[in-house]
Structure 1
């Protein structure tokens, strides 16, 4: 490899798994690429755009794909493309046109063969045939449902073809109405399965074209009261990490996903003219299709620990004086699992398997004692799970609260220097390994030809001079770019590009990898709008001065110019006080109004009420429906809250993220409760669907209501604190409710 050259990797999405390089189909493949490149000491740059769409197709993410046009083939030694993900919507000819600008750069594809492009592929056929033979011959299933993937996807087509051929070979009915579409997406498979279950249940097994859809199907079956595998069997394809720890564990076809990444690197660097490399797939039988493994498959614990646990169970059942032996060993295992941070769910299955194994070695007369002993094991597991879940929930809640505050802070800045300071705190909190924020010299519908570094985590000085955008970073940072590993993500909102975010991995748990890109883009958009408004105002002021100087005698013209200036200033003031997304008052306006009301009520000794409300499970809503639909949801919730304001003194405001506030002057606790009840009625009338909510099928809010009579020596923060505590209690008690606090009482309304 030449100096200043690295491997370019093209992905269409940066999920949470990319933060730690684990999990998911793309994440597992990427992990193999990363490990092999690291072993060889080869740096890489990962370009994270989106699936490339046909030019006639409308897409909210189209501008993300402009990133691919910035790839300079002269600065890379080769390119690896996850072809099924990048080219889902492209024909072979369109895909080759997309790759044409990168020639003569060596290119290797993974997962989809393109003419003339060396590719690493998985033989789906043999694994799928083994799965169907197991289900039909070994398990004797006869009534099937098939959950297909994306229609244009080659692997989805092959898996469906093998499925149909197996049914035909065994003379089983092929019912077209039993073919559902999940598009390789868990939520879509869940919806398709639920709709199907409303019509019929004449099937024994659901065969899914990937594991993600299998998880959605299992959830839909559970929601309809059907147990897996005793009533319906479910199988998948891919064997991603989650398949092993599901309850029950998922029968699937193991694709050598990490090996795909490793072989792609080998083919790129040592291909020697090979056009295709095929890797095999393997049937992995687990409990989701009704098969129960032997003791040797029970867990990944060392054999000595497994034998000791099993033997202590037999001793406890056979010898009453050894009553505590199994319980002590089991409790020790539970504590060790929690302390290591490993999941507890597989231990539930282990108890079931211990029971099945012990029944083969104990007389039926001892089975009641076996059941009593294992019930104690289940009780201990349940208690440990409660403690672990509480600890996890508290940690997650504190992290999300801090993130929401940082999110709100980012969107409150009105000038670039202040925003850059906030971005540094945000990226440092995310524990991003390293980062470079590159801003285009001009913002617009196309990436600018030149750019500059605005923020950098390394010791390099921020350079005011511009550099060609296709370099990604200035000359002084090229060594760092091509000696380390980087993700390159576009910063854009709608049709306007702002720049690039280059990062190493982040380590904060459970954070969507695309979220920093989205938030930074929105914050930049907010600053651009404020600056544009400020420039417009300055321009008007200058016009007023010029016109006044030139036309001092023309009072009419001067009056007109002054009126225009007043309108501009009013518009500026309004934009400063209104939330850019929802159109209601923002946090700044809220703070000002609350201070005024607090002072007024100090003099009048009238009660002052405040409602803080938070949209329940809004992150899950965004994950399921996308950020654009999430923005639409926030707008509708904001308008519903605004309708609950009774007069000009009441104020509805966006407090931050998905949190809103309603100030109610001269309102006692009963009056505040009436307003909260009206807000619940407004949201019920909206009936916004929320399939990912854990408390309702539609959008709900948790509300904290506080009521005080202001006293001298106190501040409005006291009222906010009381409302915040009430809101936290509402969430803790299950969400979708109102908790109110005053100086004397606290109550809850579902």
Structure 2
């Protein structure tokens, strides 16, 4: 049958799901079916990584599988019945089978757990006289948990046993919830003599917690579980539990989904549960059937066990030791793989032994002894086989875990996808995988979800090391030209916290299901690290490109600004030059033209006055006119000196300042003087002109506004080469608080200081004002 079956389950490292999975794999191989286990987690889990892992379920569709088996009892821990039903409705385009839970309209493979639960509670009541019960239930709303809980309460009611509701704690089917449940029950302070856990994992957690509190099982408290997982056989004491035929459950699911694919209508199948008596209830050597119960024991055997017992009996009666021991070894190995009770063969041999002892047909005691000796040899052989098989399994697990951790250490040093692929390729070969596929999710394009697949292991310079890009729903791309759908795979999602990264497809080739989880976690961390590094590099590259772009823009802008600044400086210089030229021309015109014209008028007026009689009115008028003209000439000359820095160009800055002081000193009573250092020198250039104007403006302000009696102009050379200093000091009233320091004259002074590249400082000395110009060295 050339079909591919998908399986939804939450954890292959869980004994319940692992046993069901083995049954599915065995039947799929028998029917030559392809198989993909979409290994997600519990739907709607509050744990972020589990919720993210459920992306595995979204990858299954008609494009990659022909039918679907959902182990609903495993993935629906946090779902109510309506939500579980909705889970199947989403995949209504595929033939579907439910395992563990009965879903309306969906063929379901169900174990009747009620029979087993009723039987184990009756066992505790009738055989061990238990009356005070405590219960660690499953998640509220979980269909299987609710059915088991109902059977528990119904059985207690049948025996008129009142249950104290304070002795019921809700669990989550996880081992740690069994430990928490015991702590909660003990905190109530209510004694109980029997503890019922609704699955074996919680029972194992409860057993550990009771032991930590010094409570002996079964002496103080009897303990029972549900499921019949292998770990329950090897705890101390061995756990009494309700055994579900988990291997058969998986095999039946494959048969049913095949019938649906072939067009059948499908039907529900019900398998029986049974009590597997251990020692945690109080029984001792419970796997050895008593002679008085042989008839009942034989009737309770299922058909395969009856056939096995018949063959054992035949080989023992024939005294065919080689065939007998070979058969035991073959059956023990098969039981180990299938998840069947490892004590099954022991029990069957003890049953045959009881038959021999109770009904010795031969009457020959030597024949009886030989047959009993053969049975004893078989029991010893079984004990040896069990120990060897379990030890071998444990050693293989340890070796694989060591190799897996070595792979993890090597992956931790890989920071790019090509090195990750090469490192993983070598590691998978060391673990015995002949083929695998690493798939990394890419960004969606045109609404399509795309991925890149890396076939593993690589050989030499394999061109596939760069991977193929393909549509994610295909699971694998068309470029991989082999019939992968005929093989058995485990699809394990790669997630980091709440981020899905991809998945890895590994063949069903190992007995250690924990290896899938370990590898996926190591690969996920490494892929996430590579992605972060790639993002950093991409971001770094984009930053470099952005910096280059912005630098080019800034360079262009700076060039434009520099052009504008140069243009402004040029325009300012042109304005200053025009202003200076205009001032020079006006000053020159005032001095050479207006003053000469006025002097001429004064001479004519003087001649007119001399022609008049002294003391006459016209004479007095001419005298007044002549005085006014002389005064106008002096004023015009003063204005001309203000406009034209007299002697600056010809005699230098110091002489020009000295001349300015002398000119301003005429006509007022202010004592003005110049003090200078012998080595003070100022080059006759534009800076000298600007500084001359600052001194001129400062002196004008002091004369007009300071009401001072002394003004000193100091020209100094600073010590230690710190430049030159010009100071204008008066002893006047200084600045008031009325904003006089922001007048036009001071603004002009500041502008000229900036133009001359000197530091201008104006200080109110109280009394007086000091205006300083520090000229930097050089």
**TM-score (norm: length of structure 1):** 0.57
Report if aligned partners of 2:4, 2:65 keep a CA contact under 8 Å in 1: yes
Query: Are 1:48 and 2:39 matched, yes or no?
Result: yes
Structure 2 gaps, min length 5 = 291-342, 355-372, 562-778
- Deviation for aligned residue 1:459: 11
Provide the rounded CA distance (Å) in 2 between the counterparts of 1:557 and 1:437. 55
Deviations 1:393-423 (A, max 9, x none): 9998887665444323312322221121222
Report if aligned partners of 2:71, 2:100 keep a CA contact under 8 Å in 1: yes
Report if aligned partners of 1:453, 1:462 keep a CA contact under 8 Å in 2: no
Distance 1:275 1:473, change over 3 A: same
Report if aligned partners of 2:494, 2:520 keep a CA contact under 8 Å in 1: yes
- Partner residue of 1:254? 243
- Partner residue of 1:140? 129
Distance 1:174 1:42, change over 3 A: same
Distance 1:129 1:303, change over 3 A: closer
Structure 1 gaps, min length 5 = 16-22, 311-328, 345-387, 559-750
- Tell me whether 254-263 or 392-401 shows the greater mean CA deviation: 392-401
Where does 1:583-732 land on structure 2 (aligned, <5 Å)? Answer: none
Distance 1:305 1:60, change over 3 A: closer
- Partner residue of 2:334? none
Report if aligned partners of 1:73, 1:103 keep a CA contact under 8 Å in 2: no
Query: Are 1:168 and 2:171 matched, yes or no?
Result: no
- Partner residue of 1:539? 542
- Partner residue of 2:23? 32
Report if aligned partners of 1:187, 1:216 keep a CA contact under 8 Å in 2: yes
SS at match of 2:443: strand
Where does 1:512-531 land on structure 2 (aligned, <5 Å)? Answer: 512-531=515-534
Where does 1:232-271 land on structure 2 (aligned, <5 Å)? Answer: 232-270=221-259
Report if aligned partners of 2:72, 2:100 keep a CA contact under 8 Å in 1: yes
Distance 1:400 1:92, change over 3 A: closer
SS at match of 1:103: coil
- Tell me whether 241-250 or 88-97 shows the greater mean CA deviation: 88-97
Report if aligned partners of 2:5, 2:36 keep a CA contact under 8 Å in 1: yes
- Partner residue of 1:282? 274
Provide the rounded CA distance (Å) in 2 between the counterparts of 1:557 and 1:400. 68
Deviations 1:432-453 (A, max 9, x none): 3531112233389x99334343
Provide the rounded CA distance (Å) in 2 between the counterparts of 1:302 and 1:12. 33
Provide the rounded CA distance (Å) in 1 between the counterparts of 2:468 and 2:390. 51
- Deviation for aligned residue 1:5: 3.7
Distance 1:532 1:459, change over 3 A: closer
SS at match of 2:147: helix
Provide the rounded CA distance (Å) in 1 between the counterparts of 2:234 and 2:507. 29
Provide the rounded CA distance (Å) in 2 between the counterparts of 1:452 and 1:189. 42
Distance 1:116 1:522, change over 3 A: same
- Deviation for aligned residue 1:339: 11
Provide the rounded CA distance (Å) in 2 between the counterparts of 1:468 and 1:525. 21
Report if aligned partners of 2:63, 2:473 keep a CA contact under 8 Å in 1: no
Distance 1:236 1:199, change over 3 A: same
Provide the rounded CA distance (Å) in 1 between the counterparts of 2:423 and 2:268. 48
- Deviation for aligned residue 1:342: 3.9
Query: Are 1:424 and 2:425 matched, yes or no?
Result: yes
- Deviation for aligned residue 1:337: 8.2
- Tell me whether 524-533 or 84-93 shows the greater mean CA deviation: 84-93
- Deviation for aligned residue 1:551: 4.4
Aligned match of 1:291 in 259, 268, 283?
A: 283
Query: Are 1:105 and 2:103 matched, yes or no?
Result: no
Report if aligned partners of 2:77, 2:172 keep a CA contact under 8 Å in 1: no
Provide the rounded CA distance (Å) in 1 between the counterparts of 2:173 and 2:509. 27
Distance 1:253 1:295, change over 3 A: closer
- Partner residue of 1:618? none
- Deviation for aligned residue 1:552: 4.4
- Deviation for aligned residue 1:110: 0.7
- Partner residue of 2:265? 273
Where does 1:403-442 land on structure 2 (aligned, <5 Å)? Answer: 403-442=404-443
- Partner residue of 1:488? 491
- Deviation for aligned residue 1:263: 1.4
Distance 1:462 1:441, change over 3 A: farther
Aligned residue pairs, count: 482
Provide the rounded CA distance (Å) in 1 between the counterparts of 2:273 and 2:394. 38
Report if aligned partners of 2:422, 2:458 keep a CA contact under 8 Å in 1: no
- Partner residue of 2:205? 216
- Partner residue of 1:731? none
- Deviation for aligned residue 1:264: 1.2
Distance 1:292 1:188, change over 3 A: same
Report if aligned partners of 2:244, 2:272 keep a CA contact under 8 Å in 1: yes
Distance 1:442 1:487, change over 3 A: same
Provide the rounded CA distance (Å) in 1 between the counterparts of 2:346 and 2:553. 91
- Partner residue of 2:51? 62
- Partner residue of 2:194? 205
- Partner residue of 2:178? 189
- Partner residue of 1:121? 110
Aligned match of 2:77 in 80, 83, 88?
A: 88
**TM-score (norm: length of structure 2):** 0.55
Aligned match of 1:177 in 160, 166, 170?
A: 166
Deviations 1:587-642 (A, max 9, x none): xxxxxxxxxxxxxxxxxxxxxxxxxxxxxxxxxxxxxxxxxxxxxxxxxxxxxxxx
Deviations 1:263-288 (A, max 9, x none): 11222223643431111111222221
Report if aligned partners of 1:87, 1:95 keep a CA contact under 8 Å in 2: yes
Report if aligned partners of 2:132, 2:163 keep a CA contact under 8 Å in 1: no
- Deviation for aligned residue 1:206: 0.8
Q: Work out which of the two has the higher radius of gyration on C-alpha atoms and give 1 or 2.
A: 2
Deviations 1:474-531 (A, max 9, x none): 1143643211101112223244333221111354858453121122111111011112
SS at match of 2:275: strand
Distance 1:398 1:107, change over 3 A: closer
SS at match of 1:477: coil
SS at match of 1:158: helix
Provide the rounded CA distance (Å) in 1 between the counterparts of 2:560 and 2:187. 71
Provide the rounded CA distance (Å) in 1 between the counterparts of 2:58 and 2:131. 51
SS at match of 1:73: coil
Report if aligned partners of 1:437, 1:501 keep a CA contact under 8 Å in 2: yes
Distance 1:462 1:266, change over 3 A: farther
Deviations 1:332-370 (A, max 9, x none): 99xx889967449xxxxxxxxxxxxxxxxxxxxxxxxxx
- Deviation for aligned residue 1:471: 0.9
SS at match of 1:135: helix
- Deviation for aligned residue 1:427: 2.5
Provide the rounded CA distance (Å) in 2 between the counterparts of 1:82 and 1:540. 50
Deviations 1:19-69 (A, max 9, x none): xxxx71111111111111111111111111122228xx7744322222222
Provide the rounded CA distance (Å) in 2 between the counterparts of 1:159 and 1:198. 25
- Deviation for aligned residue 1:193: 0.5
